[in-house]
Chains A and B, each alone.
Chain A
Amino acid sequence: MAVRHKSVETKYMEERDKVLRGLRGLDRRSFLKVLGATMGAVAAKGLMPPHSFQLITLANAAPDKAFETKGMEGKRPFSFAYISDTHLYERTLNQRFVRAAVKAVEDVNALDPQPDFVLFGGDLAQLGRRAELELGKQILSELKAPVKMMVGEHDWFFDMGQTWQEFFGPPNYSFDWKGVDVITLMSVHEKDFWTPLKMTPEERMHTVAGLDNGTQSRFMVGEDQLAWLENDLDKVPHSTPLLIFSHSPLYKYYRPWNFWTEDADEVQEILRPYARTTVIHGHTHQMLYNQIHNISFYGMLSTAWPWPYAPEGLPPLTVQMNRADPFDQFDGLGDGQFVVRPEGLVDTIYNLWDRNPVTVKASYLTSRGRVDKPSAPQFASY
């Protein structure tokens, strides 16, 4: 089925033409309407003194009376921070990524109060080398709060996870935290494409690190791990909130860039009985969020580079962040926090560097966008 999708440029020019066309031949009433809209747009673009403080205060959320719902008495929200997708080269080769990773560590260490733990979202190294993983380990060791590690494809495919497991333990695991069941998945397995092609480890790693190539397979959780997940959830009652950490999105966003999990439907099926489930993923390097049935999905920011939005497949709930400034090495990047509410749903704070933080609430996702829409970015998406 051929889908004709428009480029960002085309969409922008069409919108602009529409606005300018609409300005001609106005009567007084419509003129005032357009004027209002224009001034609103001007205000939204930050040309007038804005807006609110609530984004900050949420970060230091004290226990809130509003959270007291039935069965939740006495339960407090807890928060954890994240740093993701650092893509470290060796220190001498690309010091910019090192600097960004250190900046993220400083951000998290400066949080007051400190989060319960820090999730590392995957892709610690860029090319899976031991030196890169060692450097990442060293940088993350500066964090004050305990760290939960998650593996990404850039960490894995040079030596199929040997060094990663030596440093950080098993790639999938689960634990209970304050009444929430937390499961970390290894969701970037790939069907063996390298053996038939007789690839060296370097070639395999370079292939996986690329985009828009048909050589590598799509990411998957894999049958073994699906069985493990089912087994792990066997003892967990359906009323328990679930928190799933995964590097790939666990839904199907854009196949050519592997913003995609091949067995996403199976995973979602296993998670379906759990009314309050949140998936937190890396890999996409952008502000991204989605709701599919009972599952809320949050994508984490990267510290290394921002991805543009894919030309198709973007979840409609996502309010796009604006394009990164090429002169600003930290623009479009950052770290963030998740606030797990007493009932088990999750709000997130995107701590964008060089931009204002953006809060996305669970209520926005679960209401399918009817309430609590996140603030618009300061500049246009294009």
Chain B
Amino acid sequence: MAILLRSLLLLVPGLLALSAFAASGEVRVIDPWVQEAPPNAKVLAAYLEINNSGAKTQIVTAVGSPAFERVEIHRTIADRNMAGMELLKELTILPNSSIYMKPGGLHFMLIGARKRLRAGDMVPLNLTLKDGNTLAVSATVRAAKPGERPADHAKHGNHAH
């Protein structure tokens, strides 16, 4: 039923904004955060969980942020000896599953910060889905030093709006 409703909405250009709202029930971003970096760091990383509760595979094709020049989807490949990075064109989230973007693995590489970001700052991230929907989320900058981490670590449920 939800799929039918969404298909109908997609047919109406004037209601495109609403279609993003409809997608929020299926794709949501949980606990997005950015690790605070040294003042002169040229790049940062954003981590989050993307959950797809729908019956259709969802694909994230692009990510952007007004706080950065460019955002790329990356995966760190590390074994016991070497570490490297791989640029990904898209992220696929299978039906009823999540992908977890965590330190040492998948991350959004944030390139060219417009200003120095400190713990407690918020970073807006815009995810574009292959079906045309977008998700706007806000990631919290957290200190690398665990003792200084904000207490809202467990805050979940950053739905699209």
Genuine A/B complex: no
Interface residues of A (CB under 8 A from B): none
